């Protein structure tokens, strides 16, 4: 009889526990077990230790509703992995399994990491140039708007999406989201007809996180990084998620990292405009940052974002890069490089105002100005995020991409794939050749230079370059170089029909030996690409 009960229990455990057999490197392995427990299942401890031939990692599990607990793992090495679970619940403790991690394929390059101190690569070594956009609430929108957002991203060529994890309130008439992150304890209406929510902060709403995960996976499927903004001030006293107590915030971060750390395309942005969240002190932000870093076993990219020209202590080791809101560094030549020189980390100007027709000063750039600011960042060795905010009418956010995603309506987005093609053709990322003395010329490799003329309209460019080339060898006498004129707005590339030959370099500059010039089309937004010529 006792043996029969044990066999029955083993069969039940087998039927209620699911796991995959193989998984690609950097994809998700998921183990689920269905167990009924007493009390609040979100309070229970559940984790698993994964072991490879020379690696051991312990990751946190989480409750997903319907009596089901899950643990997810992103294997970073191929070969056999085994695991064992740990829990305060007997029926979740000591469960074992194995899976085979196989080589990555297709567009799976692994998570993005910092490379060369101030740039990025995927885990497999492929260069990554973050040319991103922003749509705060697209993940929480009804109907087919999210699917349209994905189509828009595919068409445009953006490879990063800044997005809010918690829902936002753009306006008093802004629609309610599909789901909320917590269970509703009580819902009433005040004397003005406004809904008043009382949340059970001890219980998460799995449907909310299921939807977010679906959106992140959709981005992964088209090669787009999900830059998740974990806190924001855009609640406007509607739901109170901007005023959650410290202990609630820390619990929320633990649940978020347990569920989402295994997604290879996730980045952490601790907050958007953190300084506007008046309930939280700098000590709170330090605690939140530490919580994310400690509970993410894969150490995804992590930063924090302030209001205009509000800079954080990005030197701290917890931050992998700088996420900055400040348009001044990209309004003229060379300024962005100064910011990078200060922090000595990758710099992304994630908000430099947006293309649009809003009355607000931050939402009315022309498409030309939006693209100009993006190129000013790139040429200085930094990166700039895009978005657009066109309004159909005052307070009508229906087709506002910044708010809700959907279709792009502006002009700059049409030039993004062309921009990425230029960057991805380079041998290395750009650096200003002689940053304090020449804000126009950048170098991406030996004898591979770029000059961005921006808004300047001129008839010719005299062939004259810095002899200093950042960390690359100095230009040498006799080197033969060709020039391509790239119109970044009209998306054309024209090779100039002259091969230039360098004279003996001076102390600081080097010219063509015949002092020749490049005759230019008298247009703005030109980029000159100068590379070694193979013709004689």
Q: What six digits make up the tokens of 393?
A: 């009418």
- Quickly tell me which residue has 């599990």 as its tokens: 61
| Closest CA relative to residue 434, chosen from 487, 507, 483 | 507
Cα–Cα distance measured from residue 37 to residue 65, given in angstroms and rounded to the nearest whole number = 11
Q: Are 466 and 438 in contact (CB under 8 A)?
A: yes
Work out the pLDDT band at 227, boundaries 50, 70, 90: very high
Q: Are 428 and 496 in contact (CB under 8 A)?
A: no
Q: Average pLDDT in the 212-217 region? A: 97
| Closest CA relative to residue 430, chosen from 139, 120, 182 | 120
Q: Please, which residues have CB within 8 angstroms of residue 68's CB and are 6 or more apart in sequence?
A: 32, 33, 34
pLDDT tens track for 253-276: 999 999 999 999 999 999 999 999
Laid out side by side, the sheet with 160-164 consists of 132-134, 160-164, 225-229, 266-269, 302-303
For 52, the 3-state DSSP assignment is coil
Cα–Cα distance measured from residue 167 to residue 134, given in angstroms and rounded to the nearest whole number = 15
pLDDT score of 2 more than 90: no
Q: What six digits make up the tokens of 50?
A: 């994964």
pLDDT tens track for 6-50: 334 444 444 445 566 899 999 999 999 999 999 999 999 999 999
Cα–Cα distance measured from residue 499 to residue 482, given in angstroms and rounded to the nearest whole number = 5
- pTM reported for the whole predicted model: 0.94
pLDDT tens track for 349-397: 999 999 999 989 999 999 999 999 999 999 999 999 999 999 888 777 7
pLDDT tens track for 144-175: 899 999 999 999 999 999 999 999 987 777 88
pLDDT tens track for 85-135: 999 999 999 999 999 999 999 999 999 999 999 999 999 999 999 999 999
CA distance from start to end of the chain: 92
Q: Please, which residues have CB within 8 angstroms of residue 189's CB and are 6 or more apart in sequence?
A: 195, 196
């Amino acid at each position: 009889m006792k043996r029969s009960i044990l066999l029955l229990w083993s069969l039940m455990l087998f039927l209620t526990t699911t796991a995959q057999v193989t998984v690609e490197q950097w994809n998700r392995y998921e183990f689920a077990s269905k167990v009924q427990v007493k009390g609040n299942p979100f309070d229970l401890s559940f984790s698993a230790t994964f072991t490879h031939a020379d690696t051991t990692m312990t990751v946190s599990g989480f409750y997903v509703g319907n009596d089901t607990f899950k643990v997810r793992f992103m294997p970073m090495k191929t070969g056999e992995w085994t695991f064992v679970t740990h829990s305060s619940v007997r029926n979740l403790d000591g469960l074992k399994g194995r899976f085979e991690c196989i080589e990555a394929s297709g567009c799976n390059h692994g998570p993005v990491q910092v490379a060369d101190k101030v740039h990025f690569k995927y885990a497999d070594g492929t260069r990554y140039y973050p040319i991103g956009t922003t749509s705060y609430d697209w993940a929480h929108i009804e109907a087919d708007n999210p699917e349209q957002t994905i189509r828009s991203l595919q068409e445009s060529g953006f490879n990063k999406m800044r997005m809010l994890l918690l829902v936002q309130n753009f306006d008093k008439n802004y629609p309610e989201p599909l789901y909320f992150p917590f269970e509703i304890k009580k819902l009433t209406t005040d004397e003005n007809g406004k809904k008043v929510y009382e949340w059970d902060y001890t219980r998460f709403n799995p449907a909310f996180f299921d939807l977010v995960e679906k959106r992140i996976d959709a981005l992964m499927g088209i090669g787009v990084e999900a830059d998740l903004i974990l806190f924001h001030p855009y609640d406007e006293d509607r739901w109170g998620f901007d005023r959650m107590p410290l202990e609630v915030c820390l619990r929320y971060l633990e649940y978020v990292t347990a569920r989402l750390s295994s997604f290879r395309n996730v980045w952490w942005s601790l907050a958007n405009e953190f300084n506007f969240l008046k309930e939280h002190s700098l000590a709170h932000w330090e605690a939140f940052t530490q919580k994310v870093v400690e509970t993410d076993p894969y150490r995804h990219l992590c930063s924090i974002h302030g209001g205009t020209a509000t800079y954080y202590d990005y030197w701290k080791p917890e931050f992998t890069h700088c996420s900055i809101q400040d348009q001044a560094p990209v309004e003229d030549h060379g300024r962005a490089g100064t910011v990078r020189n200060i922090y000595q980390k990758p710099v992304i100007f994630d908000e430099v105002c947006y293309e649009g027709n809003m009355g607000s000063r931050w939402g009315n750039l022309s498409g030309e100005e939006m693209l100009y600011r993006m190129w000013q960042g790139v040429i200085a060795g930094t990166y700039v995020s895009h978005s657009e905010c066109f309004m159909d009418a005052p307070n009508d956010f229906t087709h506002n991409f910044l708010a809700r995603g959907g279709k792009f309506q502006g002009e700059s987005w049409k030039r993004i794939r062309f921009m990425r093609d230029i960057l991805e053709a380079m041998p290395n990322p750009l650096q200003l050749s002689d940053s304090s003395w020449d804000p126009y010329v950048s170098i991406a490799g030996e004898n591979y230079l770029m000059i961005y003329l921006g808004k300047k309209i001129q008839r010719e460019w005299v062939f004259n370059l810095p002899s200093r080339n950042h960390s690359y060898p100095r230009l040498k006498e006799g080197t033969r170089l060709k020039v391509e004129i790239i119109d970044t707005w009209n998306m054309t590339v024209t090779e100039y029909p002259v091969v230039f030959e360098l004279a003996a370099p001076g102390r600081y500059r080097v010219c063509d030996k015949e002092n020749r010039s490049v005759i230019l089309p008298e247009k703005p937004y030109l980029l000159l690409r100068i590379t070694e010529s193979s013709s004689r």
